[in-house]
Amino acid sequence: MIRNRFSCYCILCALFGLALVMLLIVTPTTAHGQGGKGGVSFINDVAPILQKNCFACHDAKKKKGKLEMTTWEAFRKGGSREDPIVPGKSGESGIIKVLTSNDTDRMPPKDAGESLKKDQIALIAKWIDEGAKLDAGIDKKADLVRELRVRFVAPQPLVSYKFPALINAIAFTPDSKKLVVGGNHELTVWDAATGQPIRRIFTRAERAHAMQFMPDGKLAVAGGRPGQEGDVRIYDINAGTAKAHGGVPSVDGVNDKTVFLKELLQVEDSILALAVSNDGKKIAAGGTDRMVRVFDVASGMTEHAVENHADWILGVAFTPDATRVATASRDKTAKLWDLKGKESLLTFPDHQNIVNNVAMTPDGVFGLSAGEDGTIRIWQATDKAKAIGKVTKSMAGHGKAVFRLASYNGAKPLVASCSADMSVRLWDPIGGVALKTLTGHTDWVYAVAISPDGQFVAGGAANGEVRVWKTDGTAVVNFNATPGYVAPKIETPKK
């Protein structure tokens, strides 16, 4: 079974969706017309329904039935038939016919999913009967996906969750005393010794996929909303005026400009990988659009944007001098890039399966990569004696996919890995040997971090659980990082 950490768990999603619907029912709608006195708005009310249910087949690429719906102009031009909208006359509009049809022409097609809900169809009909107008200020040729993204308002995280939120990213604060965990439209901060919640920081991104503190103490986070948008943003997690939310001091990292400091990137799908250079001057990021981007942090400018992987980029790492970047990809390779010459120096094919993450040794001589094959491979990352790409060590032990690597670049370098085998492991990346196997997690461990002082390691799992150990292997604390969620007692399975 391949469980995908980039898509949602159906049950969870359905339940969150339900919670959202309930919320919409109990809170009076303010932002959108929804057929209220302002009338039905195309962009706020109709387009989101079309985006969710129709754009997949009716975008500029697929154009099923020759119909493209992602710009107003194309939508109204119609497909093999005429304009699907007859303003003022929902009963005569092709779109209502296909939405309400019981025949093979039903949209979405029967084999592709359920028909739209009655109230959704009624809303579209009402919009047509009100004249089927495009909202003022939107160009007829404008990309509707972009228009929707611009208008997206991040929901406030729930005060308290009934279901655990999967963890994709975790980081120790620079003082090694706290942990930042990626949640649902928020980052949560916890005491790394006691597991007590300290702060919640609301974010535009639904998920944090990777994060790293910069030398100045600010936090760089890559994330997004699956299939909708992706971003790289910089936060000051200690700033802002905190208000209690579920009893925990919380700040608005969406609007408060003292907390949300800078956006380096906004694209149309999730950013999954991020790395900060040792001097803090550059940030590298990659994601579903297969581009490796390198930003100059001070100016916010994109210095490099190269597309060379054939599939999603899942991991990035700088060499210590930041002249090179290593990347890991779903295309089953790791690569090494020269940022000055703007060329790919190495394509590392040995995993022969999805490569989830990369790291570098502190001296920049070796690259480490790991993925679905469960083995961490160490390879030459410098050109000395033309040995670049030569495998020097393979570290086996994880029985299943390795998701993430974390490095500690102190006097005695350490690498931590986390896996679908529910363990976190510590390795000596120079000697290429296993040091510790840290167990206790009861679900796939998607995120791992080593504290900046090299004393602690933490894992974050699909069931929201965080476990902290000392790097000597002693367990410190475990807690669920989903606000308000109380995990049921887990019975130890019988042999």
Q: Is residue 84 part of the contact set for ligand HEC (CB under 6 A)?
A: yes
CB of 107 to ligand HEC, least distance (A): 3
Q: Is residue 371 part of the contact set for ligand HEC (CB under 6 A)?
A: no
Q: Is residue 145 part of the contact set for ligand HEC (CB under 6 A)?
A: no
Q: Are 376 and 417 in contact (CB under 8 A)?
A: yes
Q: Which of 41, 94, 245, 356 binds ligand HEC (CB under 6 A)?
A: 94
Q: Is residue 476 part of the contact set for ligand HEC (CB under 6 A)?
A: no
CA atoms within 13 A on the CB side of 282: 21
Q: Is residue 80 part of the contact set for ligand HEC (CB under 6 A)?
A: yes
Q: Is residue 74 part of the contact set for ligand HEC (CB under 6 A)?
A: no
**Number of residues this chain uses to bind ligand HEC (CB under 6 A):** 21
Q: Is residue 294 part of the contact set for ligand HEC (CB under 6 A)?
A: no
Q: Which of 16, 46, 51, 53 binds ligand HEC (CB under 6 A)?
A: 53
Q: Is residue 98 part of the contact set for ligand HEC (CB under 6 A)?
A: yes
Q: 84 or 413, CB closer to ligand HEC?
A: 84
Q: Is residue 57 part of the contact set for ligand HEC (CB under 6 A)?
A: yes
Q: 87 or 454, CB closer to ligand HEC?
A: 87
Q: Which of 47, 85, 116, 181 binds ligand HEC (CB under 6 A)?
A: 116
Stretch that binds ligand HEC, among 106-114, 161-169, 301-309, 413-421 (CB under 6 A): 106-114
Q: Give the residues across from 199 on adjacent strands.
A: 189
Stretch that binds ligand HEC, among 102-110, 263-271, 276-284, 313-321 (CB under 6 A): 102-110
CA pair distance 403, 446, nearest whole angstrom: 6
Q: Are 85 and 91 in contact (CB under 8 A)?
A: no
Q: 39 or 78, CB closer to ligand HEC?
A: 78
CB of 3 to ligand HEC, least distance (A): 24
Q: 109 or 300, CB closer to ligand HEC?
A: 109
Stretch that binds ligand HEC, among 16-24, 109-117, 136-144, 371-379 (CB under 6 A): 109-117
CB of 115 to ligand HEC, least distance (A): 8
Tokens 């000395």 correspond to what residue?
384
The token duo for 325 is 């970047």
Q: Is residue 91 part of the contact set for ligand HEC (CB under 6 A)?
A: no
Convert the chain into a string of H (helix), E (strand) and C (coil): CCCCCCCCCHHHHHHHHHHHHHHHHHCCCCCCCCCCCCCCCHHHHHHHHHHHHCCCCCCCCCCHHHCCCCEHHHHHHCCCCCCCCCCCCHHHCHHHHHHHCCCCCCCCCHHHCCCCCHHHHHHHHHHHHCCCCCCCCCCCCCEHHHHHHHHCCCCCCCCCCCCCCCCCCEEECCCCCEEEEECCCEEEEEECCCCCEEEEEECCCCEEEEEEECCCCCEEEEEEECCCEEEEEEECCCCCCCEEECCEEEEECCCCCCCEEEEEEEECCCEEEEEECCCCCEEEEEECCCEEEEEECCCCCEEEEEECCCCCEEEEEECCCCCEEEEEECCCCEEEEECCCCEEEEEECCCCCCEEEEEECCCCCEEEEEECCCCEEEEECCCHHHCCCCEEEEECCCCCCEEEEEEECCCCCEEEEEECCCCEEEEECCCCEEEEEECCCCCCEEEEEECCCCCEEEEEECCCEEEEEECCCCEEEEEECCCCCCCCCCCCCCC
Q: Is residue 117 part of the contact set for ligand HEC (CB under 6 A)?
A: no
CB of 94 to ligand HEC, least distance (A): 5
Build a one-symbol-per-residue string for 6-45: x at contacts with ligand HEC by CB under 6 A, - elsewhere. Answer: ----------------------------------------
Q: 5 or 58, CB closer to ligand HEC?
A: 58
CB of 110 to ligand HEC, least distance (A): 10
Stretch that binds ligand HEC, among 74-82, 193-201, 234-242, 307-315 (CB under 6 A): 74-82
Q: Is residue 51 part of the contact set for ligand HEC (CB under 6 A)?
A: no
Build a one-symbol-per-residue string for 261-280: x at contacts with ligand HEC by CB under 6 A, - elsewhere. Answer: --------------------
- Which residues of this chain interact with ligand HEC, rule CB under 6 A? 53-54, 56-58, 64-65, 67, 78-81, 84, 94-95, 98, 107-109, 112, 116
